[in-house]
């Protein structure tokens, strides 16, 4: 698991900008959702195209966080990246941003009948949890998926973001959520990326500018049952 602690300089910068230590000192479970992003074989399992080895280490914390959110009456959402619609809605990324071989491998692995698309098997997904498909890095970017509508229908305005990769899909979704008027916390020990440096850089920027960063234990301690 990544070694991460918010530095005093980031903490003080956030305090100067915001005038308070935490935006989410209390998490009302009735209005909260744990959003677990891209914990699919394609990104997590050994030998798959976009494998993030550290992502396997955060599985216990994601399971613990999801259990706590459910028990408190909150919502758990599993976000899966799909290849369906990717060329139509995000064609330039695949045509110009990736080589033909890499693009073909990515689309094949994230096809909805492929092993890469499936959620990593050690994650504890429950029948009442929500499942949402996305196309782009952010689950809240226009045209990526219907997550915003799903959450607002349930009265959710607090997001706890977990998954992979910290500095790609998780950070992109968390930042867009802030811009859409959600209150957001990234769960530091339930996010993973390829290196400690990338993980720290994403979380430091998010904490300094956008929203909260907290551990699984801190998030669970702040949950107030619905």
CB-based contact 80:132 (threshold 8 Å): yes
**Average of pLDDT values for 66-78?**
98
CATH number of 8-224: 3.40.50.850
pLDDT of 22 reads 67
pLDDT of 19 reads 78
Q: For residue range 16-32, list pLDDT tens digits in order.
A: 887 776 678 999 999 99
Q: What is the pTM of this model?
A: 0.95
pLDDT of 93 reads 87
Q: For residue range 77-132, list pLDDT tens digits in order.
A: 999 999 999 888 888 988 899 999 999 999 999 999 999 999 999 999 999 999 99
**Average of pLDDT values for 31-43?**
98
Domain boundaries, the chain: 8-224
CB-based contact 52:174 (threshold 8 Å): no
pLDDT of 15 reads 82
**Average of pLDDT values for 190-217?**
96
Neighbour count for residue 132 (Cβ, 10 Å): 19
Q: Is 69 exposed, middle or buried (0-12, 13-18, 19+ CB in 10 A)?
A: buried
**In sequence order, what DSSP letters do the residues of the chain get, joined into one string?**
-------HHHHHHHHHHHSSS-S-SSEEGGGEEEEEE--BHHHHSTTSTT--GGGGGGHHHHHHHHHHHHHTT-EEEEEEE-STTHHHHSHHHHHHSS-HHHHHHHHHHTSTTSGGGSBPTTS---TTSEEEEESSS-TTSTTT-SHHHHHHHTT--EEEEEEE-IIIIIHHHHHHHHHTT-EEEEEEEEEE-S-HHHHHHHHHHIIIIISEEE-HHHHHHHEE--
**Average of pLDDT values for 175-199?**
98
Q: How confident is the model at residue 12 (pLDDT cuts 50, 70, 90)?
A: confident
């Amino acid at each position: 698991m990544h070694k991460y602690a918010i530095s005093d300089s980031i903490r003080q910068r956030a305090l100067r900008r915001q005038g308070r230590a935490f935006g989410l000192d209390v998490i009302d479970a009735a209005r909260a959702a744990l959003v677990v992003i891209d914990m699919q074989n394609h990104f997590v399992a050994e030998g798959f195209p976009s494998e993030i080895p550290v992502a396997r280490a955060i599985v216990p914390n994601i399971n613990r966080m999801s259990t706590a959110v459910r028990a408190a009456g909150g919502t758990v959402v599993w976000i899966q990246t799909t290849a369906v619609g990717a060329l139509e809605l995000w064609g330039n990324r695949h045509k110009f941003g990736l080589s033909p071989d890499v693009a073909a491998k990515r689309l094949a692995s994230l096809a909805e009948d492929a092993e890469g698309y499936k959620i990593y098997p050690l994650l504890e997904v429950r029948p009442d949890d929500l499942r949402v498909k996305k196309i782009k890095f952010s689950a809240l970017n226009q045209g990526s998926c219907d997550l915003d509508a799903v959450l607002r229908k349930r009265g959710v305005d607090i997001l706890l973001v977990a998954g992979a990769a910290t500095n790609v899909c998780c950070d992109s979704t968390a930042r867009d959520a802030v811009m859409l008027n959600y209150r957001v916390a990234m769960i530091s020990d339930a996010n993973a990326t390829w290196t400690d440096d990338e993980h720290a850089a994403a979380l430091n920027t998010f904490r300094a500018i956008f929203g909260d960063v907290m551990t699984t234990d801190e998030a669970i301690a702040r949950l107030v049952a619905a």
